Each structure stands twice: as structure tokens, then as C-alpha cells.
A and B are shown apart, each in its own frame.
Chain A
Amino acid sequence: MFFLQLRSELWKLFGKKRTYIGFGMFLIAQNAMLLAFHLSHWQADLSRMLEVNGYLAAEYVSALTVAVIMLLPQNVLLMPLYTSLIGGDLVAKEVEDGTLRMILCRPISRFRLMFLKWLSGIIFAAVLVLSLGAMALFFARFWFPWKDMFVFAPGLVFNILGTGEGLRLFVFSQLFLVVNATVILSIAFMFSSFNMKPAAATILALSYLFLNLVIESIPFFERYQHWFLPYHFRSWLMVFANPTPWARIAESQCILIAAATTTFIIGATAFQMRDIKS
């Protein structure tokens, strides 16, 4: 029964056109970025940075390098937007449309229904992130050669990797991005479980995330940055560091998973207490 009900939630989610907006936008954004890489001075700047550090630029400006560079802004800007959009819809849109009332006259418990919705949202987040990663690599390969990899993120990582090792870590890092997306979706899901419109839930979730980002970037809060989500969201990049700071990554993942679970519980509790009326 559980899997039957989960299948129903997935049918609903993936049957909607708006679910695919994120995929479409990533497709456009990635190709636009690749075009910009080719037409701007970006390649020359990257080569200069590598050569200053004693590396042969021609070896490391590769599909893997470009794929990671493309993922950086997309995971800060686009991914939160589209996961929040879906997370904000999960409960509030069904309440708004009246379909939730059709479900809640059935013997399913509210908690189970919420868990199913959350799980379907997580599946969406995973599919979105993994598609984003696969598309980034796929399109980057069209424009750039398949060579060794160079990863640079100020203050976090500066490393060069062989093709095989680079690909393995690239795939591995996607799992941590799925956790990031799950947290963002869970925040939107939590707001969506309260009595509000879907758009309001999405906006509140995005506002909360951007507030985290802004406060964290203020120098005064530097010593408190581990209290903010973006600090932990960046742990996916640390996978590429040498040596890999596993303790720091594990700490961030635990905090992110706890944040996702907490927001789910708050949302489910709020929903449990609500009256559902037409």
C-alpha cells in the first residue's frame, strides 16, 4: 500500500507541466553559460590562474572542470528556486485546488500522507539535481575535451584531479547536492503545510534561504557561519579537496539531514492540527 500511495504522489507530481520548468531552465542556463565561456575571456583567465600556480592550463580546462564551474552558480540560484517552487506546491496547491479534501475523506492518516508527499518531493529533488549534474557534464563534453580536472573554490578547495578520480568525485558530490536540495525542498514543504498560498510558501522559503546567505556573508557573523545553512551547503565542494575533510563533510551532512527532518516534523505537525475546509 505504501508504494502504491507513493506511486500516486509521483504520478501527481510528475504529471504536472510546472514540475519540468526547472529542468528546462537548467538546460537553457547551462548552454548559455557554455556559450559565454567560449565567447568571453573566461578561458584565458582560468588558464592564467592555473599557470600562475604552476600547472599546464591546456591539460585542465576540461569538460569536468567546466561542469563543476557551471554547477556553482546554478546550485546557489536556480536549484533553490525550482526546489522551493515544487516544495511550496506540495501541500498548499492541493489545499488550494480542493484535491486534498478528496484525499482526506479516505482512511489514510494525515502523517502518512505528509510523509508520502515529502518523500515524493525528495525524489523530485534527487532527480532534478542528478539531471542537472548529468546535463552539465553532457553539454560541457560537447564544448570541452575529456581531460583531467581542476577545481577551485576560494577558501574551500584548490585541487587538480585525474579524469577517472575527477569523474568519481563529481558523481559522489552530486549525492551531497541532493541533500542540499532536500533541505531547501523541506523548508518550502514546511511553509506549504501551514495555511497559506503555494506562492507564499515558495517566497517564504526563498526569503529564509537568502536571509541565511546574506547574514552569513556579513563579516560580523563570520565566526557564527556554521549556524547558517549555506555554510553547510558548500560541503559538496569539499569532496574535491585534498586531503578530503571528511569530518567537516560528515558534520555538515548531519546538520543538513537534521534540518530537513526538523522542517518536515514542524510541517507535518502544523498540518495535523489544521482544519481542512473548502
Chain B
Amino acid sequence: MPQLLIELRNVTKRFGQRLAVDQLSLQVERGEIHGLLGHNGAGKSTAIGIMLGQVWPTAGDVIVRGADVIAQRSTALARVGAIFEGPSFYDYLSGRRNLEILSSYSAATPQARLDEVIGWVGLRGREESKVSTYSHGMRARLALAQALLPNPELLILDEPSDGLDPEGIHEMRQTILRLHNELGLTILFSSHLLTEVEQICNRITVIRQGQKVFGGKLSDAQIEKGWVRLNVDDFERATQLLQAKGWLDGKVNEPLIVLDPVASTADVVRLLVEAGISVFEIARHEETLEEFYLSLMKGMSRKAP
């Protein structure tokens, strides 16, 4: 049983002259909820398309469930479910018929299993209605049902909350957590909604212009060790003084600094006050995911393991 359910190794994808994914390496371990973050056009959907064998990589290896997606597609995708942004169905057919059709491309699915999944997602009573009569929320549930039918161990969700109202987003979040907790699914979750990622994921990968700019635990992203918030009346002179003293390791992004471990905050305050600089605040900085994400998008350097 492979421990890594998704492994991208130096994957590159070009569409003509445009580089959509650039040397992307990504690992999703069994049992985690992994968030994939990035702005529009960053390459998230392309990366997901590559993982599902819908988009051919220009270079690199794509391993899903221990098998190469291109060479061993049937093994790699046998127990993978996926939901895309704005899921599409055969609107002129019933929900049940849609599930029968979509599941037939994975494996023969007994009616009992269909009933079980329909019940699980809360569509019982409406499964015989045409999909054209479904609300956004019901379509999202149907999308979830079709993803669950192959009895997946890996679920890939590409912007699943897109187009849902706040109630629907809340419901989707709870469902994802249920899937993880009750069914033990490993989930790759791509979203623009940082609060969703913050509440659901335990690891994240951030992509900018096709490149990975951060990969790691969510807790690492939220508490960047060493960052200190320094509010003073003359930030520039303060950093010069700290630099001269050798207490600054070089990273500065007003009002944030990174102190050398030898320097305590008490030493810093004493130095600045003696130099006539008013110190209003000095504290260890904990970023929200939003701040962290925005700083990455602005191009601040971060470790990308």
C-alpha cells in the first residue's frame, strides 16, 4: 500500500509558448488533507489535470497511488474520485442515471452501492429527478456522489465550493471533514477560499506562475519562526542599528524583521531606546494564512521544501 498517494516529480507543462507548470514537485501523503493554493491561472487546475491524466505533462513524472498515470492509468485512477469547479452532468437525465453512467467508466456498481452513496450525500428522494431541476447545492452533492462511487482512497477536489452560497460552502466543508474522518480518505483540495483551506487542510502547497513557492504544514505557514513585529518611530534607523550589532539575519519587511537567535527582545528594546528610538511594540509575529499567502504572492522569499 503506497504511503504517497500523489507524487509529482519536476513536472513541467507548456501550452505552446506559455509555461503553465514549471518544475513542480508535490507529494500528498496517505491520510492528509492537502491544500493547493494559487491565484487564477497559477497552474492549479493544470496540475490537477496532469494528476488525472487529462493533461499531458511536457516533462516530469506523475505517480498516483504508486502507479504512473500515463503508463498505468487504470491502476493509478482505479480508486480516485474527483470533483471539478462547476461540475457538469447530463442535465437531461436523472441524478441516478448520471451516477450509473459515470460509475460505469470505473467499474460495475451494484444498485445497493448507488443507494448507499445517494443516502450518504443526502440526495435520497431526488435521485430520479432530472439534474436540470437541481439547485447548486444538489449538483455539488451529486458531484460528491459520483466521486465516491468508485470507493476511492484519494479524492481530488478542484474548487468544489465555487458558486456555492455560504451555507453550501459550510456544508461542503463539513462533508469534506466527514469524508476524511469517517471514511479515512486522503484529499487534495484546491481552492481560492483561504479560510476554507485554513479550516480543513493540514498541509498546503502554494503555486505562483506554475512554480511551487511554498510546501509544508499549515502550521509552518502560519507561524514563520523568527519573524518579529517591530513597531518603532524610525524603522529604517532601527534596522541599521540592529544590522550593525549583528542581530539581524538580513530578512526585513517593514514592520517585520528576523532576529538572530543570540539577540533577545530585551536586548533589542534596550539598544533602540538608548539610541533614542521610541519602541511601541515588539512581538513574535504569527501570520494568518491570508497574510502568508499574500506575502508569497508579492514575491517574498519563503522556503519551498
A121 CA / B150 CA spacing, docked (Å): 27
Chain B residue nearest to A1 (CB atoms) is B108
Pair B146/A102 contact, Cβ less than 8 Å: yes
Binary CB contact string for chain B from 41 to 57 against chain A (1 if under 8 A, 0 otherwise)? 00001100100111110
Within 8 A of A (CB), among B95-112: 97, 100-102, 104-108
A105/B90 contact (C-beta < 8 A), A8-B100, A275-B54 known:
no
Residues B102 and A103 in contact, CB atoms below 8 Å apart: yes
Residues of chain B within 8 A (CB-CB) of A1 are: 104, 107-108
By the criterion CB–CB under 8 Å, are A105 and B54 in contact? Answer: yes
- Complex interface: chain A residues within 8 A of B78 (CB): 107
Find the B residue at minimum CB distance from A7: B104
- Complex formed: what's the CA distance from A102 to B146 in Å? 9
Docked Cα-Cα span, A101 to B81, in Å, equals: 12
**Selected contact of A105 from candidates B92, B93, B108, B156, CB within 8 Å:** B156
Partner of A107, one of B46, B77, B88, B102: B77
Apart from A98-B88, A101-B54, what are 7 other A-B pairs with CB-CB below 8 Å?
Answer: A4-B104, A12-B101, A17-B92, A97-B88, A105-B156, A106-B102, A107-B74
A98 to B90 CA separation, bound complex (whole angstroms): 10
Q: Interface size of B by Cβ–Cβ distance < 8 Å? A: 39
B residues bordering A, Cβ < 8 Å? 15, 45-46, 49, 52-56, 73-78, 80-82, 84-90, 92-93, 97, 100-102, 104-108, 146, 150, 156
Contact of B45 among A8, A113, A278 (CB under 8 A): A278
- A104 vs B146: C-alpha distance in the bound complex, in angstroms? 13
Cβ–Cβ < 8 Å partners of A155 in chain B: none
| 1-25 of chain A: CB within 8 A of chain B | 1, 4-5, 7-8, 11-12, 15-17
Q: Which residue of A lies closest to B75 (CB)?
A: A107
Question: CB distance A107 to B73 under 8 Å?
Answer: yes
Output the least CB separation between B99 and chain A (Å).
11
Please give, as numbers and ranges, the residues of chain A lying within 8 Å of B49 by CB-CB distance: 275-277
Q: Which of B45, B90, B97, B106 has its CB near the most chain A CB atoms (within 10 A)? A: B90
Q: How far is A105 from B146 in the complex, measured between Cα atoms in Å?
A: 11
Are the C-beta atoms of A99 and B90 separated by less than 8 Å?
yes
Q: Are B55 and A275 in contact (CB under 8 A)?
A: yes
How many angstroms from the CA of A12 to the CA of B77 in the assembled complex?
Answer: 23
Report 26 cross-chain contacts, Cβ distance below 8 Å, ordered by A residue: A1-B107, A5-B104, A8-B100, A8-B104, A8-B105, A17-B92, A99-B88, A99-B90, A102-B87, A105-B80, A105-B156, A106-B102, A106-B105, A107-B74, A107-B76, A107-B77, A107-B78, A107-B105, A107-B106, A108-B106, A275-B49, A275-B56, A276-B55, A277-B45, A277-B46, A278-B86
* Distance to closest chain B CB from A274 (angstroms): 8
- B100 neighbours in A (Cβ, 8 Å): 8, 11
Alpha-carbon gap, A8 to B55, bound state (A): 24
A8-B101, A103-B102 are contacts. A16–B55 as well, Cβ < 8 Å?
A: no
**In the complex, which of the residues B56, B77, B85, B97 contacts A278, with contact meaning CB atoms closer than 8 Å?**
B85
Which chain A residues (174-207) contact chain B, with CB distance < 8 Å? none
A249 to B267, CA, bound (A): 100
Q: Is A109 an interface residue (CB 8 A)?
A: yes
CB distance from B44 to the nearest CB of A (A): 11
Residues in B neighbouring A102, C-beta threshold 8 A: 82, 84, 87-89, 102, 146
Do B108 and A278 touch across chains, with their CB atoms under 8 A apart? no
Are A98 and B15 neighbours in the complex by a CB distance under 8 Å? no
Task: Give, as a whole number of angstroms, the nearest-CB distance from A115 to chain B.
Answer: 13
CB distance from A141 to the nearest CB of B (A): 35
Q: Are A104 and B84 in contact (CB under 8 A)?
A: no
Please report which residues of chain A, range 58-91, place their CB below 8 angstroms from some CB of chain B when the two chains form the complex.
none
